[in-house]
Structure 1
Amino acid sequence: MTTLMNWLATTIGSTLFGAVVTFTFGLIALVIGALINACLNRRRDDRLRAEEAKAVSAALYGEILLMRRSVAKAAQVVANTFFGYGRKGVFDEHILELIALKDPQLYPALASKLGFLPPDTVLAITKFHADYEAVREWVPKLVERPGRGFSYGVLFVLRPARNAVYDINPALRNIEMLLNIRDAAEDPDMKVALEVIDIEETIEADDR
C-alpha cells in the first residue's frame, strides 16, 4: 500500500510539473508571438502612413503650384492696373474678369488627412490657403463703388498675394524632398507687384 501511494505521488507530481512547464512555455510563446505581431503591425501601419503622406503631399503640392500661379497673376494684374492709372488706384468691374481665383478642390477634400504630414508643413499649407482666400476677398473690394466715399488700397491684395507666393516655399522644398522631385518649383513672376508693394509701403511709412 505504501509503495502504491509513493508511486501515485510521484506520478501526480511529475504530471503537475509537466503541466506547469507546458503552460509556462505556452504563455511565453503567446506573449512573444503577440509582441512580434504588434511589431509587424506597427511597421505595416508606419509604411501605410508614409505612403498616405506622400499621396496627400503630391496632391496638395500640385494644387498649390496652380493656385500660386493664379494668385501671382492676380497680383500682377492689380499692380499693372495700378501703374496704368498713375497711382490713382482706379479699378472697375473689368478687373474681376481678368482675375479668376477658383475655389481649391483638393485641399477641402484632404483636410481630414493633413495629420499625416509634419506639423510645420501643415501650418505652412494652412497659411497659404488663408493668404489665397484673403486675395480673393479683397480683389472685389478694389472696384470703385458709387456712394461708398472711399477706396481700398492695393496693399490689401498685394501683401497676402506676396505671402502666398513666397511663404510657402520652405514647405514646397520639404515636399519635393519627400517625393524625390529633383527640380524645385520656380517662383511665378511677381516683379511689378513687388515694386508696387515697395512704393506703397514707403509712402505708408512716410505718412506715419
Structure 2
Amino acid sequence: MWEWLRALPPGPASFVGTLTGSSIGLIAILVGALWNFNLSRKRDALERAQEIRSIAAALYGEMLLIRKEAASVARAVAYAYVEIGTKRYPGVRFDHHFLERFRLTEPLLYKSLASRLGELPSDIVISIAEFYSNYEEVKKWLPLIMDDDKRGFSYSPTAVLVPAVDTVIGINPTLRLIENLLHIRTPVADPDLGKTNSVIEMIEDQDADD
C-alpha cells in the first residue's frame, strides 16, 4: 500500500494520506468511545448491585426484628389461650394488661424504601410484600382478640396466630436468598414459636367439631 502511495502524484497522495489518517483517527475515537461506554456500563452495574445489596440489607435487618416480635406475640397468645382454657391461672386474660405488654415495631424502613423495591428481583419483592402484609394482620388483630364485654362475642386467637406463623416462617426462602446476596454464611435461626402451632391445630379441630 505504501509503495502505491509513493507512486501517486503529490496531490492525490496527500489526499489519500489525509483520508487514511482521518480514518485511523476516527477508528481510534470509536474504539475509545466503546471502551469508555463499557467501563461506564460496568461501573453502573456495580453501583446498581451495591444499591440492591444496601436495600436488601436494610430490609433484612428490619424483618429479623419483626420476626422476633411476631414470634413473641404468638407465644404469649398461645400460652394465654391454654391457661385460660385450663383455668390454672385465673388472672390470665386477654385484656388491656395483656395488650400493653406489646409495642409492635412500625415498619419504617419498608415504608421509606417502598419506592425502590422494584430494584430487587421480583420474587423477593413479592415475598417481602407478603411478609409485611402478614405482620400488619398481626398488628390489626391483636387488639381485637382482647375481651370486650360490650361487644358480646370474641375473635379466635388464630386471627393473630396464623399470620404470626406466616410472618416468622413464610419469609424463610427469601431470607436465604438475601443472605446469599449479602454473603452471610450462617442462616439466621427461626425465633421460638412455643406452642403456637399446637394451639392453632387445637382451635381448628374444635371449630371442625362444632
Give, in whole Å, the separation in 2 of the partners of 1:175 and 1:65: 12
How well do the aligned residues superpose, as a CA RMSD in angstroms?
Answer: 2.2
Deviation at 1:87, TM superposition (A): 7.6
Deviation at 1:90, TM superposition (A): 5.3
What residue is the counterpart of 1:107 in the other structure? 110
Give, in whole Å, the separation in 1 of the partners of 2:205 and 2:22: 83
Deviation at 1:106, TM superposition (A): 1.8
Give, in whole Å, the separation in 1 of the partners of 2:131 and 2:34: 43
Q: Which shifted more, 89-98 or 183-192?
A: 89-98
Distance change >3 Å, CA 192–CA 13, structure 1 → 2: same
Alignment equivalent of 1:174, drawn from 155, 173, 177: 177
Q: Which shifted more, 198-207 or 47-56?
A: 198-207
Among the aligned pairs, what percent are the same residue?
A: 43
What is the correspondence of 1:122-141 to structure 2 with a 5 Å cutoff? Answer: 122-141=125-144
Give, in whole Å, the separation in 2 of the partners of 1:47 and 1:161: 37
**Given residue 75 of structure 1, which amino acid in structure 2 is its aligned partner?**
A
**Given residue 59 of structure 1, which amino acid in structure 2 is its aligned partner?**
A
Q: Which shifted more, 141-150 or 36-45?
A: 141-150
8 Å contact kept, 1:57–1:175: yes
Give, in whole Å, the separation in 2 of the partners of 1:28 and 1:204: 79
Distance change >3 Å, CA 87–CA 120, structure 1 → 2: farther
Give, in whole Å, the separation in 1 of the partners of 2:30 and 2:117: 35
Give, in whole Å, the separation in 1 of the partners of 2:40 and 2:164: 45
Q: Which shifted more, 133-142 or 195-204?
A: 195-204
Give, in whole Å, the separation in 2 of the partners of 1:205 and 1:13: 100
What is the correspondence of 1:38-187 to structure 2 with a 5 Å cutoff? Answer: 38-86=37-85, 91-187=94-190
**Given residue 31 of structure 1, which amino acid in structure 2 is its aligned partner?**
L
The TM-score normalised by the length of structure 2 is: 0.86
The TM-score normalised by the length of structure 1 is: 0.86
List alignment gaps of at least 5 residues for structure 1.
Answer: 1-8
Say yes or no: does 1:190 pair with 2:182.
Answer: no
What residue is the counterpart of 1:5 in the other structure? none
Deviation at 1:128, TM superposition (A): 0.8
Deviation at 1:148, TM superposition (A): 1.9
Aligned residues: 199
Q: Which shifted more, 68-77 or 83-92?
A: 83-92
Deviations 1:124-157 (A, max 9, x none): 1111111111100111111223332221111111
8 Å contact kept, 1:77–1:98: no
Deviation at 1:111, TM superposition (A): 2.3
Distance change >3 Å, CA 91–CA 17, structure 1 → 2: same
Give, in whole Å, the separation in 2 of the partners of 1:145 and 1:202: 25
Q: Which shifted more, 191-200 or 139-148?
A: 139-148
**Given residue 196 of structure 1, which amino acid in structure 2 is its aligned partner?**
V
What residue is the counterpart of 2:15 in the other structure? 16
**Given residue 159 of structure 1, which amino acid in structure 2 is its aligned partner?**
V
Deviations 1:8-60 (A, max 9, x none): x9443223323322332222222222211111111111111222222222221
What residue is the counterpart of 1:6 in the other structure? none
Give, in whole Å, the separation in 1 of the partners of 2:118 and 2:98: 38
Deviation at 1:105, TM superposition (A): 2.3
Q: Which of structure 1's runs of 4+ aligned residues deviate more than 4 A?
A: 87-90
